[in-house]
């Protein structure tokens, strides 16, 4: 016989309380507790002694066969997943509203023409999906669509159809009748994901789940959701810009340092195989305040354009503004330029922008940042055939960066004539590169080399 108990669950972290409280004691969020009905069995039967499930095995008895991945027909998505979809795996795709999650997943489903696919949408009707598919200009006779929010009905259709790929958009809209709470609650998300996970592992069907995020940017629902799935992909980008970055936050079958870059256009998500050529504008030769940085995002080298504007402060307090770059690190670099190199920037407004609307955390772009700032301050242009890779320390030294050879090779491939690198890095064979490599060790020495006329 089941015993009914009422509990209050935090919708942010999943913490439970026997009574309603205004502030969660675990995550400190306000007004997140919702009343839920918890059903417990008063008698729990003991497991049978004659278990007929999976049997224990030694590792020497397990075959190490190569797992055949499913090609998604999308090179950027394959790169992020580590080579494709693994049978029986759960992939969770999260991102801001309107960033393109549903568009990307629908595009993948329509491109897999040789496999039977079931696309379940709890947010859109079949007619709305049809309109989006017409905009993408894609068709797939083996792709079936279902507008459903009941977990039991979804799994029933899967048993009858036996699809080779299941897509659920989104997991926050799916609910099961065994839980007495509204869709999107912590208990509903946990139980529905667990049911889909069990079905996927038993039938070895790959599943793509689309998830919402909270206002803080984390995935909505319990934290256990990210532990249950095999891969977590985060879709990033600004709505005002066309570029989107797909990052791998967790991946049991590949590296988490990979990322995919897409361009949003009228026909969906276009793969960007060489983003460096799109992020650099070569038409503004001769203008001051721009510098080319050789950054590493994941395992991929990128040449990005750093833009800066330095002007006399119009008001009493100088302004510091940064887009795509950490503002605190910009303030640190400005302090280094003033203390170690003697450049007076304390009474000037400094604005910094990374072109293309992307965000970069690589410290190796410090050298390009100070180059763009000094270029704007003295109104001296930097040639677009030069690029920079180096981290600036607090004492004014230029520190070594990782994967320097990969950065130099990328700069050479894109036609750069010269690259400034740290002098205290590991010994490199500069003779194998056609690009001119100029090692620098301090900020004042670097300034004289770059801006000498």
The pLDDT tens digits of the residues spanning 379-437 come to 999 988 999 999 999 999 999 999 898 899 889 988 899 999 998 766 677 778 889 99
Average pLDDT, the chain: 86
User: What residue ranges in 257-318 does DSSP mark as E strands?
Assistant: 259-265, 268-271, 290-297, 300-312
Q: Which architecture characterizes domain 70-273 according to CATH?
A: 3-Layer(aba) Sandwich (3.40)
Give mean pLDDT, residues 297-315.
87
Distance CA 363, CA 367 (A): 9
The residue length of the chain stands at 453
On whether the CB atoms of residues 218 and 224 are closer than 8 A, the answer is no
Q: Lowest-confidence range among 175-179, 281-285, 368-372?
A: 281-285
Give mean pLDDT, residues 22-35.
84
Counting other chains too, the contacts that 72-77 makes at CB distance below 8 Å and 24 or more residues apart are: 72/108, 72/111, 72/112, 73/108, 73/111, 73/112, 74/107, 74/108, 74/111, 74/271, 75/271, 75/273, 76/246, 76/260, 76/261, 76/262, 76/271, 76/272, 76/273, 77/104, 77/108, 77/246, 77/260
Residue 13 pLDDT exceeds 60: yes
On whether the CB atoms of residues 193 and 225 are closer than 8 A, the answer is yes
pLDDT tens-digit map of 41-51: 444 444 444 44
Tell me if residue 430 falls in helix, strand or coil.
Answer: helix
Write down the pLDDT at residue 413.
Answer: 86
Residue 58 pLDDT exceeds 50: yes
Write down the pLDDT at residue 427.
Answer: 65
Distance CA 81, CA 89 (A): 11
Banded model confidence at residue 53, pLDDT cuts 50, 70, 90: low
Write down the pLDDT at residue 268.
Answer: 87
More confident residue, 41 or 191: 191
Banded model confidence at residue 282, pLDDT cuts 50, 70, 90: low
Residue 368 pLDDT exceeds 50: yes
Residue 269 pLDDT exceeds 70: yes
Distance CA 200, CA 74 (A): 22
Banded model confidence at residue 285, pLDDT cuts 50, 70, 90: low
Write down the pLDDT at residue 41.
Answer: 46
407-to-133, 420, 432, 449 alpha-carbon distances in Å: 39, 11, 14, 20
- Distance, C-alpha 160 to centroid of its chain: 35
Residues of the chain with pLDDT > 70, as a percent, come to: 91
pLDDT tens-digit map of 136-150: 998 899 999 999 999
pLDDT tens-digit map of 114-168: 899 999 999 899 999 999 999 999 889 999 999 999 999 999 999 999 999 999 9
Q: Which architecture characterizes domain 277-450 according to CATH?
A: 2-Layer Sandwich (3.30)
Closest CA to 246 of 73, 81, 90, 71: 81
| Cα-Cα-Cα-Cα dihedral sign, residues 405, 407, 412, 417 | negative
Write down the pLDDT at residue 47.
Answer: 47
Write down the pLDDT at residue 321.
Answer: 94
Give mean pLDDT, residues 286-311.
90
Mark out the alpha helices in 151-256 (DSSP H runs). 151-161, 186-203, 224-228
39: which residues sit within 8 A by CB, 6+ positions away?
Answer: 2, 3, 4, 5, 178, 180
Distance CA 387, CA 102 (A): 37
Write down the pLDDT at residue 1.
Answer: 44
pLDDT tens-digit map of 200-236: 999 999 999 999 887 766 777 677 788 899 999 998 8
Write down the pLDDT at residue 42.
Answer: 44
Going by the annotation, the residues of the binding site for ATP are: 95-102
Residue 422's beta-bridge partner residues? 440
If you compute the radius of gyration of the chain from its CA atoms, what whole number of angstroms results? 27
Write down the pLDDT at residue 45.
Answer: 44
Write down the pLDDT at residue 46.
Answer: 42
Going by the annotation, the residues of the binding site are: 95-102
On whether the CB atoms of residues 278 and 109 are closer than 8 A, the answer is no
Banded model confidence at residue 194, pLDDT cuts 50, 70, 90: very high
8-state DSSP, 364: G
């Amino acid at each position: 016989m089941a015993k009914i108990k009422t509990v209050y669950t935090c919708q942010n972290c999943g913490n439970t309380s026997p009574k309603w409280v205004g502030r969660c004691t675990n995550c400190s969020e306000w007004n997140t507790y919702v009343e839920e009905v918890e059903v417990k069995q008063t008698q729990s039967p003991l497991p049978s002694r004659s278990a007929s499930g999976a049997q224990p095995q030694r590792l020497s008895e397990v075959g190490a066969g190569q797992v055949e991945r499913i090609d998604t027909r999308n090179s950027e998505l394959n790169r992020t997943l580590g080579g494709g979809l693994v049978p029986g795996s759960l992939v969770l795709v999260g991102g801001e509203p309107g960033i393109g999650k549903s568009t990307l997943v629908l595009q993948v489903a329509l491109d897999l023409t040789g496999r039977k696919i079931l696309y379940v949408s709890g947010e859109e009707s079949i007619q709305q999906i049809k309109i989006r598919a017409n905009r993408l200009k894609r068709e797939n006779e083996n792709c079936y669509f279902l507008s459903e929010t009941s977990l039991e009905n979804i799994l029933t259709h899967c048993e009858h159809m036996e699809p080779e790929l299941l897509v659920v958009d989104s997991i926050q809209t799916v609910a099961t009748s065994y839980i007495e709470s509204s869709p999107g609650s912590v208990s509903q998300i946990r139980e529905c994901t667990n049911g889909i996970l069990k079905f996927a592992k038993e039938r070895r069907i790959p599943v793509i789940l689309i998830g919402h995020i909270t206002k803080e940017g984390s995935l909505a629902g319990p934290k256990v959701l990210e532990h249950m799935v095999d891969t977590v992909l985060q879709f990033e980008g600004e709505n005002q810009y066309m570029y989107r970055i797909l990052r791998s936050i967790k991946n049991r079958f590949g590296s988490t340092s990979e990322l995919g870059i897409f361009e949003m256009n009228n026909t969906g998500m276009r793969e960007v195989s060489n983003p460096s050529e799109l992020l650099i504008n070569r038409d503004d030769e001769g203008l001051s305040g721009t510098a080319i940085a050789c950054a590493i995002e994941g395992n991929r080298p990128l040449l990005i354009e750093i833009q800066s504007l330095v002007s006399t402060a119009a008001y009493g307090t100088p302004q510091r503004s940064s887009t795509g770059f950490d503002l605190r690190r910009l303030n640190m670099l400005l302090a280094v330029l003033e203390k170690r190199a003697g450049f007076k920037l304390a009474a000037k407004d400094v604005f910094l922008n990374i072109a293309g609307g992307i965000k970069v955390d690589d410290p190796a772009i410090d050298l390009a940042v100070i180059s763009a700032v000094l270029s704007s301050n003295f109104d001296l242009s930097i040639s677009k055939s030069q690029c920079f890779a180096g981290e600036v320390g607090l004492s004014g030294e230029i520190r070594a960066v990782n994967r320097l050879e990969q950065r130099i090779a990328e700069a050479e491939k894109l036609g750069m004539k010269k690259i400034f690198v740290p002098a205290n890095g590991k010994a490199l064979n500069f003779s194998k590169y056609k690009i001119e490599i100029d090692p620098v060790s301090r900020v004042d020495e670097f300034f004289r080399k770059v801006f000498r006329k």
